[in-house]
């Protein structure tokens, strides 16, 4: 194995390990001595932490999970790019960011049972195309307010991502890298896959609503 291949493997592995850091489990253990995956919806993500532990631990978790996706794409990839044999930096950034997302979703430190990858994916997008993030967050927020389902919000927001990247140049923004455009087309399928249990519960009418977010459905 030559040095370029070894560098590529090591950096991608480091990105995965960063994503694997079990933030929600540590927060659950430190605050209440619980495994967050055994509480609420059973998910290790921010909204389950919000339901079970409150908004302050959830905010800490989301910020840290975003950072896990941002750091490999923004910092690791550019620093070590010259040591790889990849055609351009954009490809390496996408690979590093996605390895972090995979680490968050299938963390080696938590029996490969992690979150859905939404916050870590957002961190990756902040590093690669930050202009798209507020719009995706807006779509997510509106969907959750109208439906009460965070899973639906995540899937719909991800479906709009490639559309946003394609139309942004029409408004004077720099076009996204081809590697990022291709990746954005795959993101909705990844979100559907990680939310497959939620989709099953939606079909059976058993999915938990985030009632507090449904501000237009509040009873007098």
Q: How many CB atoms lie within 10 A of CB 209?
A: 13
For the ranges 75-84, 116-125, 171-180, the one whose mean pLDDT is highest: 116-125
What is the spatial distance between Cα 142 and Cα 147, in angstroms, rounded to a whole number?
Answer: 9
Question: Quick one: angle between helices 150-167 and 132-147, nearest 10?
Answer: 150
Average pLDDT, the chain: 90
Q: How confident is the model at residue 121 (pLDDT cuts 50, 70, 90)?
A: very high
Whether the pLDDT of residue 158 is over 60: the answer is yes
CA distance linking residue 26 with residue 170, whole number of Å: 44
Mean of the pLDDT values across residues 60-85? 91
Work out the pLDDT band at 220, boundaries 50, 70, 90: very low
Q: What does the domain layout of the chain look like in residue ranges?
A: 1-127, 129-220
| Structure confidence at residue 185 (pLDDT) | 96
Q: Output the pLDDT for position 2.
A: 65
pLDDT in tens, 165-178: 999 999 888 899 89
The pLDDT value recorded for residue 192 is 96
What is the tens place of the pLDDT at every residue in 11-49?
999 999 999 999 998 999 999 898 888 887 778 888 889
What CA–CA distance (Å, rounded) separates 190 from 186?
Answer: 6
Whether 89 and 81 have beta carbons less than 8 Å apart is answered as yes
């Amino acid at each position: 194995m030559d040095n370029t291949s070894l560098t590529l493997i090591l950096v991608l592995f480091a990105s995965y390990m960063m994503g694997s850091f079990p933030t929600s489990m540590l927060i659950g253990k430190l605050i209440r001595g619980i495994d967050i995956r055994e509480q609420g919806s059973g998910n290790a993500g921010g909204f389950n932490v919000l339901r079970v532990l409150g908004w302050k631990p959830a905010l800490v978790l989301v910020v840290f999970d975003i950072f896990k996706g941002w750091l490999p794409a923004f910092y690791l990839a550019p620093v070590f790019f010259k040591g790889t044999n990849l055609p351009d930096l954009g490809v390496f950034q996408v690979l590093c960011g996605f390895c972090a997302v995979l680490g968050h979703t299938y963390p080696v430190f938590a029996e490969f049972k992690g979150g859905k990858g939404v916050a870590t994916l957002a961190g990756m997008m902040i590093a690669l195309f930050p202009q798209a993030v507020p719009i995706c967050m807006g779509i997510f927020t509106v969907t959750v307010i109208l439906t009460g389902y965070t899973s639906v919000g995540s899937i719909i927001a991800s479906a709009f991502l490639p559309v946003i990247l394609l139309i942004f140049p029409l408004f004077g923004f720099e076009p996204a890298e081809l590697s990022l455009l291709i990746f954005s087309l795959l993101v909705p399928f990844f979100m559907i896959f990680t939310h497959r249990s939620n989709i099953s519960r939606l079909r059976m009418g058993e999915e938990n609503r985030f009632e507090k977010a449904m501000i237009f459905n509040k009873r007098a």
